Amino acid sequence: MSNPSNDRALRMKVDGMTCEHCELSVVKSLQDVGVSDVRVDHRRGEAIFNAPADVDPAILARAVSRAGYQPGPVETVETSGAGRFPASPDGDYDLAIVGSGGAAFAAAIRARELGARVVMIERDTLGGTCVNVGCVPSKTLLHAGDLYHQAGHHPFRGIHTVQEGVVLGPLVDQKNELVHTLRREKYEELIAEYGWDLVRGEARFLDGERLEVDGEVVTASRILIATGASPAVPSIPGLAEAGYLTSTTALALSEVPESLVVIGSGFIALELGQLFRHLGSHVTVMQRSPRILKGYEPEVAEAVYEALSEQGMSFVTGARFTRVEKRSPGYHVAVEVGGETRAVEAEQLLVAIGRRPNTAALHLDRAGVKVGPLGEIVVDAHLRTTNPCIFAAGDVTAGPQFVYVAAYQGTLAAENALSGAQRRVDLSAVPAVVFTSPSIATVGLTEEQAKAAGHAVKNSVLPVKAVPRALVNHDTHGVFKIVADSSTDRILGVHVVSENAGDVIYAATLAVKFDLTVHDLVSTFAPYLTMAEGLKLAAQTFGKDVAKLSCCAS
């Protein structure tokens, strides 16, 4: 139907839409009758698209009706350009995306669903951190390490298993094969599927509307920065000269080191430290703060410390690092602890203190984009930067560094940038999982955060040994903690250390997101002999001694 040279922009009222799925249904139905550049907003109850000037409105109405919604009147939309979406006569694209990770791909997919012309710019490997050097490779190796550890340390009598050693090369090859497969299927092949352009090279801002990519200029009416983050490195005398592993290079080792020092004690440090401990390394974790997992509930940190210590990991906390030296055949790390000088030596040194946003090469000052003290891009509740035409999403904003948060933000940023939807970011119920063994999972507020937010707080702390699943597993390391508002009974936060804590936390996420109460958890069935039952038991602990209840008693 559509001839772009004769097209005009039209708006149709559409009633009955309630969600993003509804939007996609209307987009497809209208595209099926030949209109182009379709964007639909269920909140506004409208569809905007390009169609020939002589299009029959009845054809458009029937298309919307076939999708299951009620068509309304059609009107012409005034545009400043040639009628394309959005009006951007001076731009090559409607949306330029810098980066190619979770936020970038989610944004590109949503932008194409809205009919926008999109370009993605990537300087390195397609797919970003998660699939290449983060979630996927680390978790497959962590599972392998846990299986190997269990072969030599399971708790069951009469079951005889043997640890016959680790050949790391084939394991890393298998990890690489998985990464390549997922990168191809979940990233590379989607570009042609959705139809956006990919430009390879380093992007730098020339001004607020133009990017320079290896000598070529790309212009767009809206720009999204989704460049992610990279391993942060502390300022320690001698560290740069000595060299070190990061979370990226540690996953590429071809041999298990005899010993390993880890600088840092957050989730990356503990995951990778335990991985190499399970594979046979002697591991020492060293940290400036007085305890590991300093941002977590103290009960969580204590339970994890106890479990990892029993597995043979050593910890040095409250350390001031004075020098790192490379001494054959490994590293010498000197620290001061409680006024005394100590030194730890190991074959390998891993730095895992967190991640810093990738913004240094972007020349953001030219675009009027403000950054924070760590180089993170400052955004408002709509993910708009200090330049109203530029948005940012994902790890580059220094928010929660999870791929599912990045994808959520990418989608939201694309909608706000292209349609003016003004959707606000809501991170009040973001689950976080640390894939140690036992694993750690949290959602919502800690007790300290809840008090700081003005809540009258009550909490329950349930040791995992009170959960029947842990008893049948013969593994009672861990804890459940629920933080609730004492006046309303509303669940404010849940914090778990247990086997499969990451699976348990989804139910807790729903409780936090939808304002469920302690009573709601108590009065809901929990399947017996699952770790999820610990949520109900922890809720019951507010009013009962669960040690004095029979199995499944309410």
Give kind and range of the element (H or E) at residue 350.
Answer: strand 348-351
Q: Is 404 a catalytic residue?
A: no
The one catalytic residue among 1, 12, 17, 296: 17
Among 12, 69, 93, 305, the active-site one is 69
Active site residue: 120, 130, 313, 531, which one?
Answer: 130
Active-site residue identified among 22, 194, 404, 506: 22
Q: CA-CA distance, 3 to 529, in Å (whole number)?
A: 63
Active site residue 389: no
Alpha-carbon gap, residue 368 to 385, rounded angstroms: 9
Cis peptide before 329 (omega within 30 of 0): yes
Residue 197: is it exposed, middle or buried by C-beta count within 10 angstroms (0-12/13-18/19+)? Answer: middle
CA–CA separation, 12 vs 26, rounded Å? 11
Q: In angstroms, rounded to a whole number, what is the distance separating the alpha carbons of residues 463 and 476?
A: 8
How far is the C-alpha of 374 from the C-alpha of 358, rounded, in Å? Answer: 10
**Cα-to-chain-centroid distance, residue 505:** 15
The question of whether 69 is a catalytic residue gets the answer yes
Helix (H) or strand (E) holding 93: strand 93-98
Catalytic, 130? Answer yes
Q: How far apart, in Å, are the Cα atoms of 385 and each of 103, 177, 225, 470? A: 16, 38, 10, 48
Q: Structure tokens of 270?
A: 């503990």
Q: Hey, how many other C-beta atoms are within 10 angstroms of the C-beta on 1?
A: 12
Q: Which of 135, 389, 404, 506 is catalytic?
A: 135
Measured CA to CA, the distance from residue 535 to residue 531 in angstroms comes to: 8
22 is catalytic: yes
Distance, in Å, from the CA atom of 409 to the CA atom of 399, rounded to the nearest integer, reads: 10
Query: Among 413, 427, 430, 408, which Cα is nearest to 379's?
Result: 413
Separation between Cα atoms, residue 397 and residue 405, nearest integer Å: 11
Q: Which residues are catalytic?
A: 17, 19, 22, 69, 130, 135, 551-552
